[in-house]
Amino acid sequence: MVLTIPNMLTLLRLCSVPFFVTALVYKRVGVGLVIFAIAAFTDVLDGYIAKRFDQKSYLGTLLDPLADKALLDGAFVTMALMDYTPPWLTITVVSRDFLLVGGVVLTALFFGGVAEVSPSILGKGTTFLQVVTVLFTLLFHGLGFSTDHALVALEYVTFGATCLSGLDYISRGIRSLSEEL
């Protein structure tokens, strides 16, 4: 197995999670913001390189969503514990990811093989909204601003998109299973 540049970038993103969470726990919000922004950029960069230079790999299809979920779930859980973001949003984000990963694992266990889940436009849009929500939340708190209406509105939009994409993935998974049975 050859480790491609996109896979190395994905591993870098995965490895950044403990440093990001540690920065937030120690109230180094600016440092956390920089780490998160770089990690989010590696997600865009690894996808671009994989497509542009035909470096897509099976390992990448497993690692990339794992790194995304670790980074975003780590961000939302830590921000909720620090009272930067509402618990209901964190619970929604983490629950959606738990359902997606759980669905893939259960499908593999009960129906054999590895379930392949391709990201939908709604799923990609939701990930983008979650990243923007984390960036703006950290920016607001890093600069010492109190939560304002724009951030609250962004949280509600992210909540809605997260719920819709979760339902979309569940629906697509059920359809895929019924076609195979």
DSSP code per residue over 74-104: HHHHHHHHTTSS-HHHHHHHHHHHHHHHHHH
- For residue 75, give the nearest of 123, 151, 118, 136 by alpha carbon: 136
* b/e code 109-142 from CB counts within 10 Å (16+ = b): eeeeeebebebeebbeebbebbbebbeebbebbb
- Which position has the higher pLDDT, 92 or 106? 92
Report the chain's mean pLDDT, rounded to a whole number: 91
Quick check: 105 pLDDT over 70? yes
Quick check: 109 pLDDT over 70? yes
Angle between helix 121-142 and 29-52 (nearest 10): 150
What would the pLDDT profile of 55-83 be if each residue is shown by its tens digit?
Answer: 998 888 889 999 999 999 999 999 999 99
Span 37-58, average pLDDT: 94
- Structural domains in the chain plus CATH codes: 5-180 (1.20.120.1760)
